[in-house]
């Protein structure tokens, strides 16, 4: 009799659990959704952790857990949750897009792009996917691509709030850029020291794919005053190919180039690599210099980039100096962006190497020495429209002379 009674009690408890379990599950789901709506993301994550632990086969719970973890900037936790969801259903659109957003927020565009491409193949007419791809273009400063994606969404629904919001944040096509700077130069030869100073003004228009400016410099070097002026121009095709050119004309050509012309071509790849080449022609009163400079660049997922260049130079001197032999030089440069500033550092070695000296090419001892040049710089945004830039360069020459250059610039962009 007692055994029968015990069985009845156990059966009753099991039935009670079976009846209350769905109700408890529904309550947890409701509380989680309410917490998300109220922006109580920590509470929502705790609830979705409970739901995923008790229902690990449910894709939507893992996806929701990944989403709220992302809102809390727990990117590793978000990626782990999205990976759990994709292990259950690799073709879930919401999960693919959600994980892509986390990678975009981390500036990991290389990993986000394949996810978005896969989502687009699965749902080519999805506004959710188009919006994520528009965000990707926006983050990478490709406003035209972002605008094209947004137009696809707005053709389906002209009142789509998310698309309209992103459209309002696309930066204007053109901005006015003004650069004001001072450059100080000091050349030490034994106990003697020769100082120079320059002021510069650069005024131009910049857009995502174009840049054009008018440049002016006023130099005082070796006791002589030199005025130079010219134009800079660049254009980017399809966000991958960039062509740039510049020209400077000076009032005299003894200490600075009377004519300084250059043209360059760069090809960017979506893998983060870029290759470039630049040809530069400099005409002094007593020398003619030509430089060909191929380069290689890589941009990491974090705001870090490195560049390496090689320069081959050919020089022709006046009749008093023998014809110069071809010269070689190499240069390395490192850039890293932080939340409130960007730093630059570089090293170069070679003959007639002008790549990093803010003072520009100078006509003292051209081609007669080999030099190591060390550079450092920092860009500090002061406001939305103003950035300050400071650069320092030290050139140690095999002839025993040393040159130091310091520059300070204000860059207005509006």
Mean pLDDT: which of 39-43, 314-318, 376-380 is highest?
Answer: 376-380
Sorting pLDDT into bands at 50, 70 and 90, what band is 357?
very low
- The whole-number pLDDT of residue 130 equals 94
Sorting pLDDT into bands at 50, 70 and 90, what band is 368?
low
Whether residue 4 has pLDDT greater than 70: no
Whether residue 239 has pLDDT greater than 70: no
- The whole-number pLDDT of residue 144 equals 82
Model confidence pTM above 0.75: no
3-state secondary structure string, 131-192?
Answer: HHHHHHHHHCCCHHHHHHHHHHHHHHCCCCHHHHHHHHHCCCCCEEEEEEEEEEEEEEECCE
- The whole-number pLDDT of residue 358 equals 44
DSSP-based three-state secondary structure for 355: coil
Q: Any alpha helices (H) in 38-92, and if so which ranges?
A: 41-54, 59-71, 75-88
Mean pLDDT value across residues 158-173: 81
- The whole-number pLDDT of residue 324 equals 59
Residue listed under structure tokens 């005082």: 220
How many CB atoms sit inside 10 A of residue 319's CB?
6
Whether residue 166 has pLDDT greater than 50: yes
Q: Model confidence over 92-146: pLDDT tens digits? A: 999 999 999 999 998 898 899 999 999 999 999 999 999 999 999 988 888 888 9
- The whole-number pLDDT of residue 363 equals 44
Whole-number Å distance between alpha carbons of 88 and 59: 7
Mean pLDDT value across residues 158-165: 87
- The whole-number pLDDT of residue 366 equals 55
Q: Count how many residues are written for the chain.
A: 414
DSSP H or E stretch at residue 243: strand 241-250
């Amino acid at each position: 009799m007692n055994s029968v009674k015990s069985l009845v009690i156990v059966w009753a408890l099991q039935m009670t659990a079976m009846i209350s379990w769905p109700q408890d599950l529904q309550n947890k789901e409701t509380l989680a959704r309410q917490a998300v709506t109220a922006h109580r993301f920590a509470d929502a994550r705790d609830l979705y952790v409970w739901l995923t632990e008790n229902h690990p086969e449910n894709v939507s719970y893992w996806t929701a857990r990944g989403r709220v973890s992302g809102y809390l900037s727990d990117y590793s936790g978000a990626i782990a949750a999205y990976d759990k969801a994709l292990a259950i259903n690799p073709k879930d659109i919401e999960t693919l897009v959600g994980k892509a957003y986390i990678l975009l927020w981390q500036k990991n565009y290389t990993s986000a792009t394949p996810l978005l491409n896969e989502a687009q193949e699965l749902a080519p007419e999805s506004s959710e996917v188009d919006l994520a791809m528009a965000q990707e273009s926006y983050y990478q400063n490709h406003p035209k691509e972002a605008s094209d994606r947004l137009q696809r969404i707005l053709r389906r629904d002209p009142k789509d709030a998310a698309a309209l919001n992103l459209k309002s944040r696309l930066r204007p096509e053109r901005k006015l850029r003004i650069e004001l700077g001072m450059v100080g130069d000091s050349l030490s030869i034994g106990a003697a020291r020769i100082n120079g100073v320059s002021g510069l003004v650069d005024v131009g228009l910049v857009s995502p794919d174009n840049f054009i400016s008018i440049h002016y410099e006023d130099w005082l070097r070796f006791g002589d005053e030199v005025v130079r002026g010219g134009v800079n121009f660049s254009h980017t095709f399809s966000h991958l190919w960039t062509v740039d050119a510049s020209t400077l004309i000076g009032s005299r050509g003894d200490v600075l180039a009377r004519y300084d012309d250059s043209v360059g071509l760069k090809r960017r790849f979506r893998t983060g690599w870029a290759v470039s080449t630049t040809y530069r022609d400099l005409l002094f009163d007593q020398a003619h210099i030509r430089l060909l400079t191929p380069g290689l660049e890589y941009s990491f997922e974090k705001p870090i980039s490195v560049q390496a260049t090689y320069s081959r130079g050919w020089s022709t001197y006046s009749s008093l100096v023998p014809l110069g032999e071809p010269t070689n030089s190499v240069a390395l440069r490192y850039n890293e962006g932080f939340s409130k500033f960007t730093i630059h550092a570089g090293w170069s070695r070679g003959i007639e190497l002008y790549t990093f000296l803010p003072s520009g090419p100078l006509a003292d001892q051209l081609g007669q020495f080999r030099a190591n040049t060390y550079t450092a710089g920092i860009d500090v945004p002061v406001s939305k429209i103003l950035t300050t830039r400071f650069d320092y360069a030290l050139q140690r020459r095999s002839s025993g002379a040393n040159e130091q250059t310091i520059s300070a610039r204000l860059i207005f962009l509006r």
